[in-house]
Amino acid sequence: MTEHTPIGYKCLKCGKIHYPRHGRCLQCKNREFEEVAVPTKGKLVTFTKLKAPPSGIASRSLFLGIIDLGEVGYTGQLDVENIDDLQVGMELEATWKQVRIIDNRAIHGFVWGLP
Amino acid sequence: MIIMSADEDILRPKPNKINPENTPYPAKFINLVDGSKMVVRQITREETKKVIPLFYDIVKINKDFYDLVSARILGELLAYVQYRVQDEYVLLGQIHDTGEVLGLVNGYLSFNDPKIGISYHTMTFKRGLRVGAHLFVAKMEHHLDYLQNDEVKIVAESHIGFRRWMDELRLEENFDFEHPIGGVPSYYLTRKNWESYVKPERCFGTENRPVPEEYMKMVTENILLPKDVTFQITGTPKEEFLKGL
Amino acid sequence: MRDVAIIGVGMGSRWGKYNGSLIEMMAEASLSAIDDAGTDNIDAVFVANMGAGRINNQTALGSALIDYLNLFPAVGASIENGPASGATAARIGYMAITSGLHDVVMITGGEKMRVAPGPVVTDFVATMAHPEAEYIHGITFPSLGAFLARLYFEKYGVTSEDLARIAIKNHQNGLKNPHAHIQQNITMEGILTSREAALNNPMIADPLHLYDMCPVTDGAASLIMCSMDKVQEFSNSRFVKFAGTGQGMDTMAVHEREDPTFLKAVDIASNQAFKMAGLTRKDIDFAEIHDAFEILELAELESAGFFERGKAHLAVREGETELTGTFPVNTSGGLKARGHPVGATGVAQLCELVWQLRGEAGERQVLNKPKHGYAVNFGGFGNNVVSTILSRVEE
């Protein structure tokens, strides 16, 4: 497993931005992309508070969500204290953090919190 | 009045000084997933004698520590009916309209310090209804709200028990305490944890008091032992299960 | 192209926790299907399984099953397509027969999941998620189910009561299915409206509770498929027609889908199956829906075209999907009550369709002699879906 880096892949032919990476464009099947930054601001599409998170996550519960970043989406952890702090459509901002330990390796990713 | 021999008088526990009457546990009932109501109540020594034979079968179940735990419970119940443990009590969970016994919890008070409750065991005879989770908390309720204890000392033999109690109830480590059940590190439920978390979030059925008379009549008149307890616990009928041993 | 029939089905002993090995469990189901068909003259065996290599330390299950049951000279292979492995294997069986390569094919699905603690099983299932975009963040399948449920709650006014209604219905059906893992009555009070419901039915992935999800189950199911022009060679006349199969795909990462409440793969798979069968939604008398989460029963029924989008829960409220309703759904108890041994589920769904179409479903028999049954077997979180239609052959 490669370490996750939140990089978007913009199709050099049709301009569609992908996250995660694909070998061929989801729109035009072109194979060439340029790396673009994944936006760090977005809107919450849906979310959950997961009891008993999987191994490699130390906390008792984990907030997770899908964030709409405009041209791409992001699935990731949410940095809040309480489920009542979350609302569909709210603005969130990303911070680069450790998200999990897998096979004794620290994995980093975007964690989304209140701006 | 029963005349006791001098020996017997020495061998029997004496009332503790703090709560000599051992405030009895007031019965309540809890709604279970299947729509039945589980009456939770303290049983007498005479009633305990009726429950004891149930354990003759369970000691043979070498699964999830049922054999070890039931052998110990059997000893504890025999000790209770024959007055050999300080301030022992037994709580039973029974279905309100049949009297079927779903589970049992027991414990006693420290001889040295009756403000310390000591949890013995929790056993369920029907799985998948969260009977154990409800009964264990009822036991904590008995210690902290009725027996006037400040804390309850707890250990687990089974993995299921460990996950349920230590983890889910956020019990604190009390590794210095030598719990009578074994040499493993013990945990304890403090009054603070009881009042801030376990009682408000995990203790149910407290509003279901007093238990309607017809429920009480049913469960006291019918201590119905589960039909094939081996099947209830293991999912395999007794004969078949014993064959596999 | 020749037609294909299912001439025998079986599920072995009751699902739940199996004490023997994975192969023994699959063999038991296979033998019950062989006995039902009245023949062991099998040309090929396709075994549906998702994770034996990981959780049971065994691979090449097709070879193992043929060896264990002495089905030589039958040939075989394992088919892995996540939780849609079962219906995928049946689809491959269909291809094998219609191509003329084989005449009689056995499909056996099996999964022995209760060998590992819950968190290990959850992690095993989560390996289907996108490795970089989902898995590493701690995404599990219950969290994907919760994402969908929250969208449904917000968009269509679906409530926790609606999900509980589906669970109660499926438990009721499971009580009538001797193969079902969970045979327990549940009530709205016990799981949702009483105060103690908070402990009886805890929140696992908000807004999903324990009873909004399927259990972890060991189980196997098997069926024997045969070329329609050969069925006369076997004495068994209780065959049903394998009328339609369809398969659809979607993006792996849920966040790449345009509308995460619409299960595009279910739509594609269903349209294909209906086209092949030459039937419309109205022709279907009952359905087996892949309710790994109760919210999926609603979303799949809508995406498959049986109800308008955002309306299936209203039909549930009216009792339409109950056993005695106008369109019974998950008469077997579904994944919720029958259980969800991932590789076995798609095969077990087809077993249920066959029993219903043959009028042999006992206490849970759909009334008025059903003619056409539909099943959807949902892989990944909807990125790989197989739909199947089976039809009763007129006497």
Of C130, C154, C204, the CB nearest to A51: C204
Contact between B31 and C189 using a beta-carbon 8 Å cutoff = yes
Contact between C187 and B204 using a beta-carbon 8 Å cutoff = no
What number is the ipTM of this complex?
0.95
Interface test with C, best of B33, B102, B131, B158 (most C CBs within 10 A): B33
Q: How far is A36 from chain C (nearest CA, A)?
A: 16
Question: Which runs of E-coded beta strand occur in C70-198?
Answer: 75-79, 104-112
Confirm if C268 and C161 have CB atoms less than 8 A apart: no
**Confidence at residue C59, expressed as pLDDT on a 0 to 100 scale:** 96
**Confidence at residue B83, expressed as pLDDT on a 0 to 100 scale:** 95
Mean pLDDT of the region C109-113: 97
**Confidence at residue A3, expressed as pLDDT on a 0 to 100 scale:** 43
Mean pLDDT of the region C90-103: 97
**Confidence at residue A52, expressed as pLDDT on a 0 to 100 scale:** 80
Contact between C185 and B34 using a beta-carbon 8 Å cutoff = yes
Q: What is the pLDDT of residues C141-199, one digit of tens each?
A: 999 999 999 999 999 999 999 999 999 999 999 999 999 999 999 999 999 999 999 99
Contact between C138 and A109 using a beta-carbon 8 Å cutoff = no
| Range B26-232 has CATH code 3.40.50.720 | no
Residue type for position A106: A
**Confidence at residue A1, expressed as pLDDT on a 0 to 100 scale:** 36
Within-domain flag for C191 = no
Token pair for C231: 């069925």
Helix, strand, or coil (residue B26): coil
**Confidence at residue B35, expressed as pLDDT on a 0 to 100 scale:** 92
Where are the alpha helices (H) located in C69-140, listed in sequence order? 85-98, 118-126
**Confidence at residue C123, expressed as pLDDT on a 0 to 100 scale:** 85
Within-domain flag for C34 = yes
Helix, strand, or coil (residue C16): strand
Contact between C136 and A45 using a beta-carbon 8 Å cutoff = no
Q: Is residue C266's pLDDT more than 90?
A: yes
Confirm if C296 and C334 have CB atoms less than 8 A apart: no
pLDDT class of C225 with cuts at 50, 70, 90: very high
Q: How far is C385 from chain B (nearest CA, A)?
A: 32
Residue given tokens 């059903």 in the structure block: C370
Of C17, C199, C201, the CB nearest to B235: C17
β-strands C75-79, C218-227 pairing: unpaired
**Confidence at residue C38, expressed as pLDDT on a 0 to 100 scale:** 92
Q: Is residue C260's pLDDT more than 60?
A: yes
Of C185, C189, C196, the CB nearest to B204: C196
**Confidence at residue A5, expressed as pLDDT on a 0 to 100 scale:** 60
Q: Is C211 on the interface with B (CB under 8 A)?
A: yes
CB pairs under 8 A between A and C: 109
What is the domain extent for residue C225? 4-116+217-233
pLDDT class of C323 with cuts at 50, 70, 90: very high
Confirm if C270 and C280 have CB atoms less than 8 A apart: no
Mean pLDDT of the region C285-305: 98
Q: What is the DSSP string of C50-85?
A: SSIIIIIS---HHHHHHHHTT-TT-EEEEE-BTBTH
CA distance linking residue C341 with residue C295, whole number of Å: 19
Within-domain flag for C138 = no
Long-range contact pairs involving B222-225 (C-beta distance under 8 Å, separation at least 24): B222/B98, B222/B99, B223/B43, B223/B47, B223/B50, B223/B51, B223/B92, B223/B94, B223/B99, B223/B101, B224/B94, B224/B98, B224/B99, B224/B100, B224/B101, B225/B51, B225/B53, B225/B54, B225/B101
* B157-184 core/surface letters (b: 16 or more CB in 10 A; e: else): bbeebbebbbeebbbeebeebebebeee
Residue type for position C271: N
Contact between A4 and C136 using a beta-carbon 8 Å cutoff = yes
CA distance linking residue A100 with residue A81, whole number of Å: 18
Contact between C255 and A88 using a beta-carbon 8 Å cutoff = no
Mean pLDDT of the region C46-62: 96
Q: Is B35 on the interface with C (CB under 8 A)?
A: yes
Residue type for position B19: N
The pTM of the full predicted model, rounded to 2 decimals, is 0.93
CA distance linking residue C180 with residue C343, whole number of Å: 16
Question: Which runs of E-coded beta strand occur in chain B?
Answer: 28-31, 37-42, 89-95, 101-109, 116-124, 151-154, 172-173, 187-190
Quickly count: other Cβ atoms within 10 Å of residue A9's Cβ: 20
Contact between C196 and B35 using a beta-carbon 8 Å cutoff = no
Contact between C198 and B204 using a beta-carbon 8 Å cutoff = yes
Q: What is the pLDDT of residues A65-92, one digit of tens each?
A: 999 999 999 999 999 999 999 999 999 9
Q: What are the extents of the domains in chain B?
A: 26-232
**Confidence at residue B160, expressed as pLDDT on a 0 to 100 scale:** 81
Within-domain flag for C74 = yes
Confirm if C45 and C279 have CB atoms less than 8 A apart: no
pLDDT class of C235 with cuts at 50, 70, 90: low
Token pair for B177: 């305490």
Question: Which runs of E-coded beta strand occur in A23-90?
Answer: 33-37, 41-51, 61-68, 73-78
Please list every residue in chain A whose beta carbon sits closer than 8 Å to the beta carbon of residue C206: 48-50, 83
Q: Is C383 on the interface with A (CB under 8 A)?
A: no
Contact between A64 and C139 using a beta-carbon 8 Å cutoff = yes
β-strands C44-48, C75-79 pairing: parallel
Domain of C94: which CATH number? 3.40.47.10
- The ranges of chain B with pLDDT < 50 are none
Cα→Cα distances C269→A71, B82, C91, C145, C374, Å = 28, 70, 12, 20, 12
Tally of structural domains, chain C:
1
Mean pLDDT of the region C254-265: 95
Q: How far is C54 from chain A (nearest CA, A)?
A: 16
More confident residue, B213 or C235: B213
Of B31, B201, B244, the CB nearest to C194: B31
Q: How far is A88 from chain C (nearest CA, A)?
A: 8
pLDDT class of C75 with cuts at 50, 70, 90: very high
**DSSP code, position C213:** B
